[in-house]
Amino acid sequence: MPTLLSAERALEVAAVLGEGPVWDDRNSSLLFVDIVGETVHRYHPTTGAHNSFPTAAPVGAVALRDDDELMLALAGHFARCGADGSLIETFGDFRADATSVRFNDGKVDPWGRFVAGTMDWNERDALGSLYQLSPTGEVAVLADKVTVSNGLDWSADRRQLFYVDSPTRRIDTFDVDPDTGTLSRRRVHLETDPELGFPDGLTIDVEGCIWLACWGGSRVCRFTPDGHLDKVISLPVARVSSVAFGGARLDCLYITTAAGAAPEHPGAGSARGGDLFVADPGTQGWPTRRFG
């Protein structure tokens, strides 16, 4: 049986679709987005301070830059802005068709590139792709025929990418070219039990284990490198969307959630979703990577 852990509410924010947490070690704060609420939030755990800024478009992911500005994956393009959200401006020439897809989750890779994926607005057709944005603005397609691009993270040796397309109910893995970051040899790493909900955001700890947010399942699950479920964090809300390590020692696990219930999982949590939670995972994460 997996070890059962609990989480506590860190911030009452009532996001419509909280997602994409990322720890800013230089400012000891956690950034996360409300995708359809078109907002980037910043939370300072030591003081409880919270501020936010609007993005004027759905925002699928936020990433840190080397120069302390931010990168955004907006509905159909990339943008940069100041740390406070000032001067949001388009970055590069790339455009996705934002009438059919939108960005949904992304992270900086081990080489300083921003990797983010798109999803079908209707969550039905394989219209999305996983993209890689270079610091000079070039965009490469890493994977295509994606329905709901979601959680992603790289192994410590930089040779594997773990990736979720949520409707497949799988975590897949790719081989990664250490020079270009491009992907090959996609295969199934593990298939998740439907009782857990849909796989969503994920992160990898220093032990090589995957922490997976389970949308509709009121929990975060940790899987060992061989695919064994060994820890479960229970939450009082149904729609658990993503996870990230934070804190001075990177030993706190922050968990984003979304509003609404999950009728396909009648046993799921019923408390108000959309708030930020935190748990003691008993391990640590890796430092956040920056774009540039």
The set of catalytic residues is: 200
DSSP state of 271: S
Identify the burial level of 284 via C-beta atoms within 10 angstroms of its C-beta, where 0-12 means exposed, 13-18 middle and 19 or more buried. middle
Q: Which residue pairs from 76-82 have beta carbons closer than 8 angstroms and sit at least 24 positions apart in sequence?
A: 76/101, 76/102, 76/103, 76/118, 78/114, 78/116, 78/133, 78/139
Q: Which residues contact 224 (CB under 8 A, 6 or more apart)?
A: 208, 209, 230
Task: Tell me the residue type at 222.
Answer: R
CB burial string 173-190: b at 16+ within 10 A, e below: bbebeeeebebeeeeebb
Q: End-to-end alpha-carbon separation of the chain, Å?
A: 43
Q: Structure tokens of 181?
A: 């970051």
CB burial string 223-255: b at 16+ within 10 A, e below: beeeeebebbbebbbbbbbbbbbbbeebbbbbb
Distance (Å, whole) CA 283 – CA 143: 31
Distance (Å, whole) CA 68 – CA 246: 17
The number of helix segments (H) and strand segments (E) in the chain equals 0, 24
Identify the burial level of 90 via C-beta atoms within 10 angstroms of its C-beta, where 0-12 means exposed, 13-18 middle and 19 or more buried. middle
